[in-house]
Amino acid sequence: MESKIDLNLLNMACFMVFSFIYVVSFSQAVSQETEAVHLKEIPASDTVKQKNLETYIVHLSLPVGVSSAQLEDLENWYHSYLPKTTTGFNDASRIVYSYLNVVAGFAARLSPEEVKEMEKKEGFVYARPQKILALHTTHSPNFLGLHKNFGFWPDSGYGKGVIVGVLDTGITPGHPSFNDEGLSPPPAKWKGKCELKGAACNNKLIGARNFVSNVPGLPVDVEGHGTHTASTAAGNFVQDANVFGNANGTAVGMAPHAHLAIYKVCSENGCAESDMLAAIDTAVEEGVDVLSLSIGAGGGNPIPFFNDGIAIGAFGAIQKGVFVSCSAGNSGPESASVSNEAPWILTVGASTTDRNIRATAVLENNSEFDGESPFQPKNFTNRLLPLVYAGEVSGDQSASLCAPESLDNADVRGKVVLCERGGGIGRINKGQTVKDAGGAAMILMNEETDGYSTLVDAHVLPATHVSFAAGQAIKAYINSTSTPTASILFRGTVIGVKDAPVVASFSSRGPSLASPGTLKPDIIGPGVSILAAWPISVENNTNTKSTFNVISGTSMSCPHLSGIAALLRSAHPDWSPAAIKSAIMTTANFLNVNNGLILDERKLPADVFAVGAGHVNPSKATNPGLVYDIQPDDYIPYLCGLGYTDKQIAIIVPRHVTCATISSIPEAQLNYPSFSIQLGSTNKTYTRTVTNVGKATSAYHFDIGLIPGVDVHVHPTTLNFTEVKQQKTYQVSFGRSDTSISNTYVQGAIKWVSNEHTVRSPISIELI
């Protein structure tokens, strides 16, 4: 069957742009039969024997001549860019994917020399080798104030009718978290497919597809990561969920009545950009409302957005009204380590909840150090056992890290072993090393950079994970006596931990290197010791399908925010992705449960580069009062202001842009719900526009606290609204009040306050 492409957007672009070459964004109106063709992966050609082929992502500008083309003509036009084979024909099998919705171009296996030849062809914009990216609950809904029978959850219909697309390692069909009790059929707009066998899909799991190009097969999850993130975002209610009997309760995702569409793009070898772009392209076409990507490049290296596959795909998605949530990365607490920095993405850091699964290290000198572990065997001895530091019982240089086999010749049998984190060795693997050597238990101590951040892992032996300070004290005790002894006291699940939420040590930090004028991360959410669905039992229980695991990462906080965005989309279907993002940010909590400042892993006040706007508050986000809205075209002056060339911007948008005819803006002038600026001796003024989404008649007054060394002035100081969706613009000027303060960052927040709302925007100022 041959289907035509809806090229309305292309025709419009042809009308508006004077050049005979155009970059276009195709509409979603492509049939399922057509979609199956244009995103079909084709095996590598047997005729191509070069060893230096790799997958390139190629961006093109389409000529006017294809405006009435059918899919086959477009495919042939893409093929015309490929090198000639010895047979004289284009080697069409070199194409991996052809993109229609979020990218104008294709992915193909090419050599560097072939790319150079391709650059000479008319319509060529840019090509680069794809990057391989990395993968970055029973209690968190309650901690976030979501209650089953009252409040925001029932008011939003639990996300009813919203489709959440999850790009990850696949899914575990048949898991209780993906039952469809209480769910209606998917909305009529859904055009997706289920590649799982039999009746594995239902009204909860409405689609599942595999895009891992080098691993053909079903989109089944063998890693666990995708199952965990999908159930966190939109898993249905499952009673009596627990791990080793701890953290027991009802497991449920943020949007339990939203639909899930799964796109497998990652394997144990990582996540290929070409696969990910193909999945985003398809997800947008199939009708998802929210995209959740717990994926990203390593932080610390400035990647311009035109070289960032996630940024490019996400821009194409928001152009079609799809909200995109991404993990900030797990490279913290290093400064400037945040990834997924584009302002059209919600960038999510990780924090704790007020729940611990407590395991206390008890020493013979009566010292006790609280740590965490879910594996708490009831038959573990309560008597003190010999205690040793792994680094002192073996001649192996990696013994202190409890690296595999490093303790094989050490005398640890029947002893409690103190191990250090780090070395690129998994925490559970360290315990396995101790167990293999005959150790009775493990105390795992943090590295100094991890401070007081402790994590819950499904350990293979009795264990506890303690802070760096606790580990140092235990080391000192070992060195103070010839017969050190210790035990572990298992205390079970503890609710109501003070000072929650605390920023996780691993959560990546700003400032953004790709766009310093945009404050990142945007928000923090639960990402430490999150219980969610898992493909297999971590307890080796083969008699249950109700399998869960507790893991940590910004990969866990991202789907929390994806699910909350689904709730907001359900409650406010007319809100743009930027409006949803603004509502989440301006209503965030900047204080902890004790009304103190949110702390970091050092137990010090966390700065804006750790928390962004603060910790998400879903119930407040549904009624923010005002929002900072941004339309997709509003990002173009911003991109020009970044100094990108017209060609580079065309890779992102994608359409022809001429910055010379556009009034470019500084990064901080974007209508963003936060401020990130540099301030020298010259005052700087920025404009913001807010939209009233609260009561028609409302008045807001300006409020700001002291920012060291900075004067702040706002005009006007009062905003009066008479209509819903009415917009008001204000200007805020920053000047130096103390020039002796320099080469540092200071922070604060602007607040617009009414009788019912506080609309808060965080500020970061680099004094230069």
Closest CA to 556 of 575, 577, 578, 528: 528
* Core vs surface per residue 651-684: b (16+ CB within 10 A) or e: bbbbbbbebeebebbebbbbbbbbbbbbbeeeeb
Amino acid letter for position 617? N
With H, G, I as helix, E, B as strand and everything else as coil, classify residue 571: helix
Closest CA to 151 of 583, 622, 695, 564: 622
Closest CA to 193 of 321, 319, 39, 25: 39
Specify the higher pLDDT residue, 323 or 268.
Answer: 323
Cα–Cα distance between 574 and 651 in angstroms, integer? 28
**88 has a pLDDT exceeding 60:** no
- Please give the pLDDT value at position 66: 53
- Please give the pLDDT value at position 361: 98
What φ, ψ does residue 389 adopt, rounded to 5°?
A: -95, 125
Residue 221 appears among annotated catalytic residues: no
- The pLDDT tens digits for 281-294 are 999 999 999 999 99
- Please give the pLDDT value at position 37: 28
pLDDT averaged over the chain? Answer: 89
Contact 184, 163 (CB under 8 A): no
**162 has a pLDDT exceeding 60:** yes
Secondary-structure percent of the chain, ordered helix, strand, coil, rounded to 5: 25, 30, 50
Residue 168 appears among annotated catalytic residues: yes
- The pLDDT tens digits for 171-203 are 999 999 999 999 999 999 999 999 998 879 999
Cα–Cα distance between 182 and 325 in angstroms, integer? 26
Show Cβ contacts of residue 241 under 8 Å, excluding neighbours closer than 6 positions: 138, 247, 248, 249, 250, 251, 531, 546, 548
Q: Using the structure block, give the residue that is written with the tokens 């998605």.
A: 317
Active-site residue, from 91, 168, 275, 396? 168
Contact 291, 285 (CB under 8 A): no
- Please give the pLDDT value at position 48: 40
Contact 311, 653 (CB under 8 A): no
- Least confident interval from 23-32, 414-423, 649-658: 23-32
- Please give the pLDDT value at position 136: 80
Closest CA to 258 of 226, 283, 221, 231: 231
Active-site residue, from 136, 225, 257, 459? 225
- The pLDDT tens digits for 102-120 are 888 999 999 999 999 999 9
**373 has a pLDDT exceeding 50:** yes
- Please give the pLDDT value at position 395: 86
- Please give the pLDDT value at position 63: 63
Active-site residue, from 339, 453, 555, 676? 555
- The pLDDT tens digits for 751-767 are 999 999 999 999 999 99
Show Cβ contacts of residue 686 under 8 Å, excluding neighbours closer than 6 positions: 668, 669, 675, 677, 731, 732, 733, 734
Widest distance between CA atoms in the chain: 85
- The pLDDT tens digits for 508-561 are 999 999 999 999 999 999 999 999 999 999 987 777 777 999 999 999 999 999
- The pLDDT tens digits for 407-449 are 999 999 999 999 999 999 999 999 999 999 999 999 999 999 9
One DSSP character per residue, 202-233 reads -SSEEEEEE--TTS-S--B-SSSHHHHHHHHH
Tokens representing 409? 């010749």
Helix ranges restricted to H, 371-467: 427-436
Cα–Cα distance between 234 and 19 in angstroms, integer? 46
- Please give the pLDDT value at position 544: 72
- The pLDDT tens digits for 558-614 are 999 999 999 999 999 999 999 999 999 999 999 999 999 999 999 999 999 999 999
Residue 555 appears among annotated catalytic residues: yes
User: Is it true that the peptide bond before 141 is cis, omega within 30 degrees of 0?
Assistant: no
Contact 518, 678 (CB under 8 A): no
